[in-house]
Amino acid sequence: YGGPVTNPSDTPATTPSAVLVTGGNRGIGLAIARAFAEAGDDVVITHRSGEPPEGLRGVQCDVTDSASVDEAFTRAEELLGRPVDVLVANAGITKDGLLMRMSDEDFDAVVDTNLAGAFRCARRASKSMIKARAGRIILVSSVVGLYGSPGQTNYAASKSALVGLARSITRELGGRGITANVVAPGFIETEMTEQLPEDRRKSYLAGIPSGRFATPQEVAGVVRFLAGPDAAYISGAVIPVDGGLGMGH
């Protein structure tokens, strides 16, 4: 299908989006928030502790707590002056350990933050998106979600489940102008990967066809694309940003 033929000069200039990035105070979330802000969008980040980073507006939020998520959205809507139309569910944690020794607490904490946290944010965001008949939900997963990783049963399970979440949102709300997609980064230069032991780092690099880790900005660019007008017909997709590491999954 070739799609309707339009004259580029008929295309209206894009209006700024109202963007909420969870866990936008550092790492990949911060790079995503800055990329939107630099492009002229109205951005609010959530931070669990401390202060928002310089130049960005922030609201406190613990994604494991539904009341905190609700309050954060309400406060973000006040700061933005309108409802959130782009949600980037980025907040995430790891609590690695071998299956045999993994505690219930470590399994639950990771699923509660990475999966249920994204669900709580998407549920809250969907209310105004449904009314507006427009919205973009972008869930930050990981290559590990579908590739698997020893010592990360909790993390991989939480991240692969985001695919089911995005695809169900797509089937439920696709007709209301809402898209939901998953971005699956590979290894990114952040505090999370800085903690990797040197031998693991080397063996990971050996398995990445691109031969390097990515920058947080490379993830941010893909997230911005999914929030933009050129991605209006992409929904329920898993977009890898992994240098080819997870190819074929």
Catalytic residues: 155
| 138 vs 69: CA distance, rounded Å | 16
Work out whether 191 is an interface residue with ligand NDP (CB under 6 A): yes
- Tell me which of 66, 128, 149, 193 binds ligand NDP, using CB under 6 A: 193
> HSE-up of 232 (CA within 13 Å, CB side)?
9
Could you tell me how far CA 97 lies from the centroid of its own chain? 24
Beta-carbon contacts of residue 105 (< 8 Å; ≥ 6 apart): none
CB of 177 to ligand NDP, least distance (A): 26
Is position 149 an interface residue for ligand NDP (rule: CB under 6 A)? no
What is d(CA 249, CA 239) in angstroms, rounded to the nearest whole number? 11
Of 97-105, 162-170, 190-198, 226-234, which part binds ligand NDP (CB under 6 A)? 190-198
Q: Which of 56, 80, 120, 142 binds ligand NDP (CB under 6 A)?
A: 142
Find the binder of ligand NDP among 58, 135, 185, 243 (CB under 6 A). Answer: 185
Check residue 152 for interaction with ligand NDP (CB under 6 A).
no
Residues 42-71 that bind ligand NDP (CB under 6 A): 47-49, 61-64
| Contact status: 91 vs ligand NDP (CB under 6 A) | yes
- Distance from first CA to last CA of the chain, Å, rounded? 26
Q: Which residue from 134, 136, 108, 107 is spatially nearest to 122, judged by alpha carbons?
A: 136
CA angle 173, 179, 183 (to 5 degrees): 135
Binding-site size, ligand NDP (CB under 6 A):
29
- The contact set with ligand NDP (CB under 6 A) reads 22-23, 25-29, 47-49, 61-64, 90-93, 113, 117, 140, 142, 185, 187-188, 190-193
